[in-house]
Amino acid sequence: MMAPAQDVREECVREMDAKRGFGTTWLREAFLAVPREHFVPDRVWWPDPGPDGRCPLLDRTRKPRAWLKAVYLPGVPLITQIDDGAVPPDGPASGAWTSSISSPGVVIEMLRHLALGPGDRVLEIGTGTGYNTALLAHRTGTGRLTSIEIDPEVADRARTALHGLGLHPRLRCGDGEDGHTGDAPYDRVLATASVRRVPYAWIQQLRPGGVLLLPLDSPFGHDLLVRLTADGEGRAQGRPVARVEFMRTRGQRGGSASYTELGWPEGLDPEQWEDLRIEVGVDGQCVTVADRTAGAAAVPAPPGP
């Protein structure tokens, strides 16, 4: 007999507690309260290609136990769309991954660093399945939460899933690189797709002292999860807090600019990533290496329990 979803969810929590943990009480409570399986399509692709180069399909109706186990593996994302929906989920497939549900571990890592306070006004860039949106709503309430998704079909599925749990945040369909001025300024802006160049609109729409958390493409072969704080004068600065891998925003997939043109210094040691400092303003972005003798800026502790 298949274990109930709640049992599998609690086992996932125990695994993550044994590693880094959740860092704050509300996040652990939200993970236990929000049914992740509710947001995962019945058919998704496993992210590791087989010998034929294609990603295996997980089908909830055919193998419900394997599907549910995959949903709650702490370190495994699941692919929900390939080639912007051109590839139907009817079997193993290859192509460009264009939408997914991030692994539980990465979701928790991001929300830990977001340091979200109760009632914060939040803009989420990339609704995706709506799962992350539901976790945010657990902390902020839906009246303070705006989420934007560029793909209409993905947005519709997320809306249906959220409404099915009685959650009604402001959901917008559009290009997330433009942000959403209608509900600005925000206390927090969270991007769930990576960029090579930080859109200045995200900085403009933050209140002074507000936080932007985003995956930034790096010359190291992976993204860096970057936490920036707005200064209220049109700039934001901060540093990387983790190494991650995310799909690129549609508008920045084919960018040909060199890393030097994107504000990165040459000759960086990949092990220096924690020493980097990133500043973004109307004139673009600039990456520098911090002076170790000056000490590293501390990341504020999450508020609350």
Structure tokens at 27: 């996040």
Pick the CATH number of 105-294 from 3.40.50.300, 3.10.105.10, 3.20.20.60, 3.40.50.150: 3.40.50.150
- What pLDDT tens digit does each residue of the chain (305 aa) get? 456 999 999 999 999 999 989 999 999 999 999 999 999 999 999 999 999 999 999 999 999 999 999 999 999 999 999 999 999 999 999 999 999 999 999 999 999 999 999 999 999 999 999 999 999 999 999 999 999 999 999 999 999 999 999 999 999 999 999 999 999 999 999 999 999 999 999 999 999 999 999 999 999 999 999 999 999 999 999 999 999 999 999 999 987 899 999 999 999 999 999 999 999 999 999 999 987 544 444 444 445 56
Which of 193, 136, 133 shows the shortest CA–CA distance to 162? 133
Buried (b) or exposed (e) across 158-196, using 16+ Cβ within 10 A? Answer: bbebbeeeebebebbeeebbebbeebbbbbbbbbbbbbb
* 102 tagged catalytic: yes
Which among 192, 279, 293, 199 has a CA at the least distance from the CA of 240?
A: 279
Residue/partner pairs of 199-202 with CB below 8 Å, 24 or more apart = 200/280, 200/281, 200/282, 201/177, 202/123, 202/125
Kindly list the domain boundaries of the chain, sorted by start residue: 5-101, 105-294
Q: Which of 102, 147, 194, 218 is catalytic?
A: 102
Q: How many CB atoms lie within 10 A of CB 33?
A: 12
Residue pair 101/129 in contact (Cβ under 8 Å)? The answer is yes
